A and B are shown apart, each in its own frame.
Chain A
Amino acid sequence: MANIKELAKGEELFTGGHRACAGCGAVIVARQVLMAAGPNTVVVSATGCLEVISTIFPYTAWNVPFLHSAFENAGATISGVEALYKSWMRQGKYNKKVNFIAFGGDGGTYDIGLQSLSGAVERGHNILYVCYNNEAYMNTGVQRSGATPKGADTTTAPVGKVKKGKEQYRKDLTEILVAHRIPYVAQSVVGNWRDLTSKVEKALSMEGPKFINVFQPCRLGWAYEPEKTCEMGRLSSDTCIWPLYEVVDGQYKITYKPKEKKPVTEWLKMQGRFRHLQKPENKAIVDQIQDFTDKQWELLLKKESLTS
């Protein structure tokens, strides 16, 4: 695995000058994924923050070939690019080794793009799909998604006089991908460059469909100070809100185990989207989130020991 000096010496493949918010985690994902992937990479992006902030015509932040077509179809679109590559290689029309990487936000991946992603990985395309998961539709004004956690305040599941934010737990997309029995599935996070870049390198060393779900703090939708993005990412691992692990050919490996598991209240209190949970009358929701987090973590530990 490349060290930080080696990574930093590489060509800048996702350049500055884009229009992301100060403190945006999505561009950290794009930059670090490309650092690990290198220049022989074609990128497809779903409609979303990353695409909108990076390709305002006539400018582009992508120093690799880049394609965006729509919101719900990054899986199918990268399938098409990879299929053409395969066709040309077979016909002897092309001979370069190329990585095919798709980026989609949680809206474009958990929700509207799930079918397209499922089809792409089921067909076995040699692709890496990276979900930059900021737990809501941030590009369009913080609407709830299937990735939004219980209790979060969003514009389509707002905190009101009766409702206390989102009532449902988020779906477990990573496990949905594990159920596709593809070669590589992982969870990573913004704020842990070594974890993310090594997972990308590992994924790209394998043939077939790969998926990495990268937890991405969003200072706008989560409402925290912009300089705390990486800190927020690390805190999500330390609270086990977002465990870091990988599943290689069905075998689970937790890649980060906090020495001391912090309570979820440490996590919740940093964010405006959970502000209402500070009120004593909402303590039951906080307890439910802690209970949910504990159970998920215990289950993951069991999966690791079961498959080791």
Chain B
Amino acid sequence: MGKSNIVARTGNEAMAEAMRQINPDVVAAYPITPATEIVQIFASYVADGLVDTEFVPVESEHSAMSACIGSAAAGGRVMTGTSSQGLALMAEMVFIAAGLRLPIVMADVNRTISSPINIHCDHSDTMMIKDSGWIQIFSENAQEGYDNMIQAVRIAEKALVPVIVTTDGFIISHGMERIEILDDAEVKNFVGTYKPENYLLNFDRKITVGAIDLTDYYFEHKRQQIEAMKDSKSIISEVGAEFGKKYGRSYGLLDAYKLDDADIAIVALGSTAGTAKVCVDNMRSKGIKAGLLKPRVFRPFPKDEIADVLKNIKAIAVMDRSDSMNAAEGPLCLEIKAALYDKGVKNILLNYVYGLGGREIGLGDLEKVYNDLAEAVKGKAKDKINYLGVRE
């Protein structure tokens, strides 16, 4: 087992610590809209000479991702961090980074999108770029945020697909937790050295990157990108398994908690899954067979894997911390439904949109959801789409 130290860290500190240990060639970031503490913590590492990184304090998030693209195309290991409006501003470049197959790693602290302006947690920022071609890894707590950042480097560089690692704003980012930090040498060894196949600074093999790609080639290149996203599933699983073997915390595409014999289950991303685990235990102590599914990755979407673990659950509640504004289900629920359709599963499926703009989600809220599911199993009609915790 690799060496580690137990420390108290906020989510932001844990993410910045992972970045220090990864020691990327370049970090280009903008600290505001809204302020992402990760960037300023990392800047202090640069100021103290603790990293080899060239830190580029750009003038906007659009330029942050543009500079990351320049550095990554030039051949470097590159990282950035942002959230909310910042991610919205960089969205154009987020798509381009993925299309150019640049293995950039980004920490995203999930915070809501204006308007109304609000700096608190929900998943509307990350969901906005769900179709951009980035692998999206959600973290349940600071420990997972830290572990995911380290794995993301390996995943991105093997798949040549950029990776976004999210933590929930304030809930994880600002909450102090007990976490295990690996020794610097362990992280250095785990991430290894990045050796790009083609890069701008290689004058022995000069390349043109970002060529105009018209009707005769564009589709073939996008098809390759689609395939890379499909292939990334096994890479994510392999890297997660290796991490588990070395450090005792295994990761896969999803985390099924007490689902094997469950009658009812909640599906939730990020920190809400932690709350739901406590709720599952409480329900179980009352003799109710409750379970939880936490998709760790939303992109690639583990469609078959999710359908397999949900197919025998009598009633399922999908928790969406953002809305699709489609006058129908939230983004996670839509995809879960699509996954079940292919398996011919027609179990009870309810959608709960919750926690928008940082609205609290507590044990009582999730207990209500489990109780709704239990009643639905008994035949009581329930609304398919629910807005949990809102005054109306």
Contacts and interface: CB of A to CB of B under 8 A. Distances in A.
Interface of A: 39-40, 42, 44, 51-52, 55-58, 60, 62-70, 72-73, 75-88, 90-91, 94, 96, 98, 115-116, 118-119, 122-123
A84 B59 contact: no
Contacts of A122: 59
A75 B56 CA distance: 12
B58 A79 contact: yes
B142 to A, nearest CB: 28
Contacts, number: 168
Nearest to A89: B54
Contacts of B60: 115-116, 119
25 contacts: A60-B211, A62-B206, A64-B206, A65-B202, A67-B73, A68-B209, A70-B96, A73-B66, A75-B63, A76-B58, A76-B67, A79-B28, A79-B56, A80-B70, A80-B72, A80-B73, A81-B74, A81-B201, A83-B26, A90-B54, A96-B201, A115-B59, A116-B59, A116-B63, A119-B58
Contact of A119 (B59, B78, B208): B59
> In terms of DSSP, what is the predominant structure of the interface of chain B?
mixed
A9 B212 CA distance: 30
B383 interface: no
A69 B54 contact: no
B256 interface: no
Contacts of A79: 28, 56, 58, 63, 66-67, 70
List 9 tightest A-B contacts by C-beta distance, closest first. Answer: A80-B70, A119-B59, A80-B67, A76-B63, A76-B66, A68-B210, A73-B66, A87-B54, A60-B208
A44 B214 contact: no
B203 A84 contact: no
A58 B72 CA distance: 22
A84 B217 contact: no
A86 B54 contact: yes
Contact of B201 (A51, A52, A88, A116): A88
Contact of A67 (B56, B58, B62, B200): B200
B70 A84 contact: yes
Interface in B35-68: 52-54, 56-60, 62-64, 66-68
B59 A42 contact: no
B54 A55 contact: no
Interface of B: 25-26, 28, 52-54, 56-60, 62-64, 66-76, 78, 92-93, 96, 100, 200-203, 206-214, 217
Contacts of A69: 66, 69-70, 73, 93, 96, 100, 210
Contacts of A42: 74, 200-201
Contacts of A94: 201
Nearest to B206: A65
A52 B212 contact: yes
A98 B209 CA distance: 18
Contacts of B57: 123
B162 to A, nearest CB: 13
A55 B70 contact: no
